[in-house]
Amino acid sequence: MLDERSKHLRRLVIQMIRVGRRGHIGPAMSLIELLRVLYDSFLRSDPSNPRWEQRDVFILSKGHGCLAQFALLADKGYFPHEVLDTFCSPTSILGGHPEFGKVPGVEASTGALGHGICIGVGMALAIKIKKQDRRVAVVLGDGEINEGSVWESAMSASKHNLSNLTVFIDYNKLQSYGATSEVLDLEPLADKWRSFGFSVAEIDGHDVDALQKLTAQLPLDSNKPTAVICHTVKGKGIAEAEHNPKWHHKSNISEQEIENMLGQLA
């Protein structure tokens, strides 16, 4: 069961969908609990000063899940809630993917899959060289890790012992057009990350208490980067969207569909 905060954040996502009449609903809904924990209790940040030099860094490498990030950024005060009502309008700062320099709190423009982790590794290495007490968190989609750049970055992170880097994999087991097991099977996923030099944990990506306990223990090894495999449900909280690749991205969403989604989150 979703608690009120998780429902509230999902309603903010639907608030944007109502305006834009389109968006990546499935990928956003699988992220809500993970991002909620990262922004609420893991990331050190200052919404009034998004470029604060001592902040932790968050990069949403699976940029198509940005509806979830936008909901959290508004909720934490990076920009007014009213901005959500402009989603995908011609003059809005909020588009179909997060944009650095346009959206406060966004550290990198992502959506070209496999790039966010590359940026994250570079930033984590720079932080280490400067001997700063800062962390970098990168969220990857499971389909995204088909990209070779992900594994090149993983090798680099391991080589440089980037214990200040944590990679979270949103393992909802569906990518844009089908199951990851059919498109390009990822298993044994935990062993893959271990073989690339990461400490690895697996967790229910919708269990807020478990996520909070785990993130409080990071890094798992003071000499290694960490990978956290979050087992999630694509479209979580919306019955017709759960486990349904047709809800990876939806266009021309009707008012009735909007009301139906909101009714499930009442």
Rounded to 10 degrees, the C-alpha dihedral 145/148/153/156 comes to 130
Does pTM top 0.75 for this prediction? yes
Q: Which residue, 221, 107, 239, 233, is CA-closest to 174?
A: 233
C-alpha to C-alpha distance for 193 and 55, rounded to whole angstroms: 27
- What are the pLDDT tens digits along the chain (266 aa)? 899 999 999 999 999 999 999 999 999 999 999 999 999 999 999 999 999 999 999 999 999 999 999 999 999 999 999 999 999 999 999 999 999 999 999 999 998 999 999 999 999 999 999 999 999 999 999 999 999 999 999 999 999 999 999 999 999 999 998 999 999 999 999 999 999 999 999 999 999 999 999 999 999 999 999 999 999 999 999 999 999 999 999 999 999 999 999 999 99
Q: Where are the domains of the chain?
A: 4-264
What is the distance, to the nearest Å, from the Cα of residue 228 to the centroid of all Cα atoms in its chain?
12
Helices 66-76 and 4-20, packing angle to 10 deg = 110
Q: Which residue, 43, 72, 67, is CA-closest to 57?
A: 43
Specify whether domain 4-264 bears CATH 3.90.1200.10. no
